[in-house]
A and B are shown apart, each in its own frame.
Chain A
């Protein structure tokens, strides 16, 4: 044991990420002097990410909670690995796009790395202020990254909307946290749980208001209906890799935080928030999937589809239990793989054509059958077809909800999931049944990085769909940290 108060070695993955970010900024500054090629920055980012992911694997089963502020345990490690994988995918599949469409590439990669640090600490936080500052680290990086597109005026608009609404949501979150702090007398999760388990009748309305504000603020970050207004605009205006990142890391990190809070300190007051969660879950599932039916832009379609997916995940928070916690982790992992497969295909498509309307996908099966296959697998998986990741993860998620006494919620989820099949099929119909636009019927190929990213992720979609056992085991070990009965 060292002489330090805490075992800071447990934070090495984040040290690596931050160090890589600073290295990238420095390399960007001296780009001309050092004669660096255009591939150097993404290469540094990718290597740093791989190193961080590998380093976090070294700490499986190690536990330290840094005076009850940040817990490094299997739960954190699960999300560490997940987030570094997402970051790697975004860097690899997006670097061509970034080269062409982003104003400041060095800053872009640095912000991505720093936001991943924020996401990891959102999963690890065991204290309200730490959770808050981590959310801000993730959000601030994304506010900037959303508005970095080179020529798209929508990008600046999206960034402005995101930052204004995000600021309001952060304020609500802080208000809620302060009310909970006032009632519990502490910001640490363990002490909040202890304070609330002794009964909370004397706080009544203040505690309820705190919970409402907390759920509203976090619901905004997760883009749950009715706090989803920013999502389609931000997704549409943002550069495509950032859209992918928003739909993956940003969502997963919010759910990591939600699960830790609602399965820990707020579990004793479950009667006061369960109905709110159930209401928001239903609105999000139904609303997201119904509005998605009318979309004509692939980014907006995927935005509303991701809102629908958030509804399913909120269902797991509502019916909180050991089974639904581990089901949520499985679903988050499966959703990330599937969504990233779809997004890396869309990025590859955009690199070739520069278009993102649904009608532009007409006849893709003719011009690039491989990409059409990847998109089809991804869309079917998002809709929850058997043999694909989406089916398995949704199945155990809905099963956990049903066996937790929320059969009606699971029924709504199944109906919403069936509705979603319609708009996913709309994309597939355009690719396979329609003719390509005139003069664009020639075959084309992806770049090697495109093949690697889409191929690996599609393989992952099938692997989770067919042989999900290892993922279940890992998620189970991570969820056991939460110590739900």
Chain B
């Protein structure tokens, strides 16, 4: 059916159709939010929160439900950007910037590069197992428990205070200097591990030549 739509051939049909559906779905939400804002039912930050929350949930659903893994990765970007919006609402703009740079930029690019280099794009369709309905049930159950727990608790600190970037720097590089260095060791291990696992088992060129000489 998708092939019959009048879309220029150079666009990925699923992305175009998906984007259209996303925009059509977002329009009524945006309309309702703006109406509530104009009627003074919601304050501006609340409107932003609900919009961002809708973006996060939609992106997460897309990540899980889209059959093409590249599309799922792109959909993940929406979720990560939405989380950056939440950080902004909480008054921690530094964290929001880091989230944008590291997750919205770095991690997603890394993910897409990984897919490209491992040629996952050639065979991009995820095969769901027979346990898919069961997995959905368990996921819904766990999600329900979490929501119930978060709503049930009477949290002590609910107001977000903006934390200055100077404080963050002092905490991160003075008090938390040692864990910070441990994190860098984790990165070192990940690097060593990636190379050690990915490097092929074939003998190195010099060794192969040496063997030829001896035989």
A residues engaging B (CB < 8 A)? 5-6, 11, 18, 25, 32, 66-67, 69-70, 103-104, 107, 110-111, 114-115, 117-118, 121, 127, 129-130, 133-134, 136-137, 140-141, 143-144, 147-148, 150, 159, 175, 179, 182-183, 185, 202-209
Are A144 and B156 in contact (CB-based, < 8 A)? no
Partner of A103, one of B189, B193, B196: B196
Are B152 and A69 in contact (CB-based, < 8 A)? no
Q: Interface residues of B: mostly helix, strand, loop or mixed?
A: helix
Partner of B153, one of A111, A130, A204: A204
Alpha-carbon separation in the docked complex, A114 to B183 (Å): 12
Are B178 and A130 in contact (CB-based, < 8 A)? yes
Across the interface, name the chain B residue whose C-beta is closest to A129.
B179
Across the interface, name the chain A residue whose C-beta is closest to B148.
A205
- In chain B between 152 and 195, which residues have their CB closer than 8 angstroms to a CB of chain A? 152-157, 174-179, 182-183, 185-186, 188-190, 192-193, 195
Partner of A69, one of B146, B155, B175, B192: B175
In the complex, whether B2 has a CB less than 8 A from a CB of chain A is no
Across the interface, name the chain B residue whose C-beta is closest to A11.
B178
Are B149 and A209 in contact (CB-based, < 8 A)? yes
Are B157 and A185 in contact (CB-based, < 8 A)? yes
Are B189 and A114 in contact (CB-based, < 8 A)? yes
Q: Interface residues of A: mostly helix, strand, loop or mixed?
A: helix
In the complex, whether B199 has a CB less than 8 A from a CB of chain A is yes
Across the interface, name the chain B residue whose C-beta is closest to A156.
B197
Are B149 and A143 in contact (CB-based, < 8 A)? no
Partner of A148, one of B145, B148, B153, B196: B196
Nearest CB on A from B170, distance (A): 10
Interchain Cβ contacts under 8 Å between A and B, 19 examples: A69-B175, A69-B178, A103-B196, A107-B195, A111-B192, A117-B185, A129-B176, A129-B179, A133-B186, A136-B186, A137-B185, A140-B189, A141-B193, A159-B197, A183-B156, A203-B154, A204-B153, A206-B149, A209-B149
Alpha-carbon separation in the docked complex, A464 to B199 (Å): 44
Nearest CB on B from A64, distance (A): 11
Are A103 and B182 in contact (CB-based, < 8 A)? no
The 6 closest A-B pairs by CB, nearest first: A144-B193, A206-B153, A202-B154, A67-B175, A107-B196, A130-B179
Alpha-carbon separation in the docked complex, A167 to B190 (Å): 14
Nearest CB on B from A77, distance (A): 16
In the complex, whether B201 has a CB less than 8 A from a CB of chain A is yes
Are A110 and B192 in contact (CB-based, < 8 A)? yes
Are B206 and A182 in contact (CB-based, < 8 A)? no
Are A114 and B196 in contact (CB-based, < 8 A)? no
In the complex, whether B150 has a CB less than 8 A from a CB of chain A is yes
Alpha-carbon separation in the docked complex, A182 to B175 (Å): 21
Query: Which among B145, B149, B189 has the highest number of chain A CB atoms within 10 Å?
Result: B189
